């Protein structure tokens, strides 16, 4: 495994396992399989409804806690944000059966972001999280958070894949020491990613799969990636990407696929802002 060093010196695996959209009753098996395949970074969220199952798989694996890197995420909180953020983190820790997470992310750039961030900074100081960060923050929101708070987020987890490469976001994050993490690295197969002719040609040249080429492309950009799969063969394939390299020409061929647009939704879209801001996990 290759690691990145976050801006507070914490080491994070560059490749992990995401559990979004894995139903709670299938998550324990999926995480057990992922840990057996060698994954040590697990990415869940309060909003995914499967933290307890992730926790059971961790406990049953017998893998020492220090060898794991566990991420979970805070959903948008009602006021008072500081108090509710603390409660949400405690509830995630209880569900996971852990006394700390390795990374706690603000899942959406909405609500009382500053209040939520202050509570996350307190959690960092107290060791309830070894690192804190955000997700889905566009450059304007990220820069505002960086410039007007004590703690620069360690990570920003954003949609990133060959069709939406996020070069401006990446440059800003690099400038401020925020680690870029990709979600939707395969954009859930959208745009026929797995049979795309450019990616397939590169895959053939290496005797690898398109999925492996995409993961290599992310890793060579020093972007942390967390592919999701419920299939043990694909899990094994997705972690087997550390013994080949894309050439400069192949990196350039993937770079040319960028459309600069989301394949999911835009966090600047007022309808999405309203929908995500109003959503509550218990409703």
The stretch among 77-85, 230-238, 239-247, 250-258 that binds ligand NAP (CB under 6 A) is 230-238
Q: Which of 10, 130, 187, 250 binds ligand NAP (CB under 6 A)?
A: 187
For residues 257 and 27, give the distance between their C-alpha atoms in angstroms, rounded to a whole number.
Answer: 33
Both structure tokens of 177: 């020491």
Closer to ligand NAP by CB, 10 or 30: give it.
30
CB of 231 to ligand NAP, least distance (A): 4
Both structure tokens of 193: 């990613």
CB of 39 to ligand NAP, least distance (A): 12
Does residue 247 interact with ligand NAP by CB under 6 A? no
Q: Which of 130, 227, 246, 250 binds ligand NAP (CB under 6 A)?
A: 227
What is the Cβ-side half-sphere exposure of residue 110, based on CA atoms within 13 angstroms? 20
Closer to ligand NAP by CB, 243 or 249: give it.
243
Question: Are 70 and 105 a contacting pair, CB within 8 Å?
Answer: no
Does residue 194 interact with ligand NAP by CB under 6 A? yes
For residues 193 and 211, give the distance between their C-alpha atoms in angstroms, rounded to a whole number.
Answer: 9
Beta strand ranges found along the chain (DSSP E): 3-5, 11-13, 17-18, 41-43, 69-74, 103-106, 132-135, 155-159, 179-183, 224-225
Does residue 20 have an active-site annotation? no
Tell the residue number behind the tokens 């492309």, with chain if given: 217
Binding mask 41-60 for ligand NAP (x = CB under 6 A): --x-----------------
Among candidate residues 39, 48, 104, 110, the one labeled active-site is: 48
The stretch among 3-11, 56-64, 88-96, 228-236 that binds ligand NAP (CB under 6 A) is 228-236
Q: Count, in order, helices (H) and strands (E) of the chain.
A: 11, 10
CB of 214 to ligand NAP, least distance (A): 9
For residues 217 and 223, give the distance between their C-alpha atoms in angstroms, rounded to a whole number.
Answer: 9
Question: Are 222 and 249 a contacting pair, CB within 8 Å?
Answer: no
Q: Which of 183, 217, 246, 276 binds ligand NAP (CB under 6 A)?
A: 183
Does residue 136 interact with ligand NAP by CB under 6 A? yes
**H or E element that contains 35:** helix 24-37
In the complex, the residues that contact ligand NAP under the rule CB under 6 A are 18-21, 43, 107, 135-136, 157, 183-189, 194, 209, 211, 226-231, 234, 237-238
- Active-site annotation, residues: 48
């Amino acid at each position: 495994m290759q690691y990145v060093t976050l801006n507070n010196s914490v080491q994070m695996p560059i490749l992990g396992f995401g559990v979004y959209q894995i139903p709670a009753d299938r998550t324990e098996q999926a995480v057990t399989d992922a840990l057996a395949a060698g994954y040590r970074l697990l990415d869940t969220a309060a909003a995914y409804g499967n933290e307890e199952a992730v926790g059971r798989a961790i406990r049953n694996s017998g893998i020492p806690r220090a060898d794991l890197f566990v991420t979970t995420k805070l959903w948008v909180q009602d006021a008072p944000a500081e108090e509710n953020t603390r409660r949400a983190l405690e509830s995630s820790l209880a569900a996971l059966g852990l006394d700390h997470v390795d990374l706690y992310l603000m899942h959406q750039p909405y609500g009382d972001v500053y209040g939520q961030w202050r509570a996350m900074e307190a959690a960092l100081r107290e060791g309830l999280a070894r690192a804190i960060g955000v997700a889905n923050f566009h450059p304007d929101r990220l820069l505002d958070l960086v410039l007007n708070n004590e703690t620069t987020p360690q990570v920003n987890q954003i949609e990133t894949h060959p069709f939406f490469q996020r070069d401006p976001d990446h440059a800003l994050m690099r400038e401020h020491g925020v680690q870029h993490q990709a979600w939707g690295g395969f954009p859930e197969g959208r745009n026929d990613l797995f049979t795309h002719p450019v990616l397939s040609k590169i895959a053939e040249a290496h005797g690898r799969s398109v999925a492996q080429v995409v993961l290599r492309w992310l890793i060579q950009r020093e972007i942390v990636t967390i592919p999701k799969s419920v299939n043990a063969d694909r899990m094994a394939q997705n972690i087997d990407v550390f013994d080949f390299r894309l050439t400069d020409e192949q990196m350039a061929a993937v770079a040319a696929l960028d459309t600069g647009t989301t394949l999911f939704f835009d966090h600047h879209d007022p309808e999405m802002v309203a929908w995500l801001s109003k959503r509550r996990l218990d409703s």
